[in-house]
Amino acid sequence: MSSVCERCKGVCDMDRALVCDSCCSMFHEKCSGFAGSEKRVMFCSECRLAIKKVPLILRRFDDLEREVRKLEEELVMLRQSNESEIETLKNSMKNVPEIDGDPEELIAEINERNSEVNNIMVYKLNESNSQSLNERILHDKAEVVKILDIIDIREDVIEKVIRVGKKGTIPKPMKIFLSNSGIARTVLRNKSKKMERYGRDISVGPNQTIMQKTHLKRVLGKLEQREKDGQEDLHVKFVWGIPTIMKKN
- Fold classified for 2-52: Herpes Virus-1 (3.30.40)
Q: Is the pLDDT confidence value at 81 over 70? A: yes
In angstroms, the CA 14 to CA 9 distance is 14
Of 57-61, 97-101, 170-174, 182-186, the one with minimum mean pLDDT is: 97-101
147 contacts 122 by C-beta, under 8 angstroms? yes
Q: Which of 57-61, 166-170, 238-242 has the lowest mean pLDDT?
A: 238-242
> Has residue 196 got a pLDDT over 80?
no
Give the Cα separation of 123 and 127 in Å (integer): 11
Cβ of 219: how many Cβ atoms within 10 Å? 15
The 10s digit of each residue's pLDDT in 237-246 is: 877 778 888 8
Mean pLDDT of 220-225: 91
Considering the entire predicted model, what is its pTM?
0.51
Q: Which of these, 22, 25, 33, 34, lies nearest to 5 by C-alpha position?
A: 25
H runs (alpha helix) in the chain: 29-32, 45-52, 54-94, 103-115, 133-149, 181-189, 191-198, 210-228
Output the CA angle 191-194-197, nearest 5 degrees: 150
117-206 maps to which CATH number?
3.30.70.330
Average confidence score pLDDT of the chain: 81
Cα separation, 32 vs 7, in Å, equals 8
CA torsion sign, 11 to 16 to 18 to 24? positive
**pLDDT tens for each residue of 139-153:** 999 988 888 887 778
Residue 120 CA to its chain's centroid (Å): 30
Within the chain, how many helices (H) and strands (E) appear? 8, 10
Query: Residue 205 — φ and ψ, nearest 5°?
Result: -150, 175
pLDDT digit string (tens) for 1-43? 458 888 888 888 777 778 777 777 888 878 877 765 555 555 6
Q: Break the chain into its structural domains and give their ranges.
A: 2-52, 61-96, 117-206, 210-247
pLDDT value of residue 248:
81
Among 146, 162, 137, 153, residue whose Cα is nearest residue 202: 146
Q: How far apart are CA 166 and CA 17, in angstroms?
A: 121
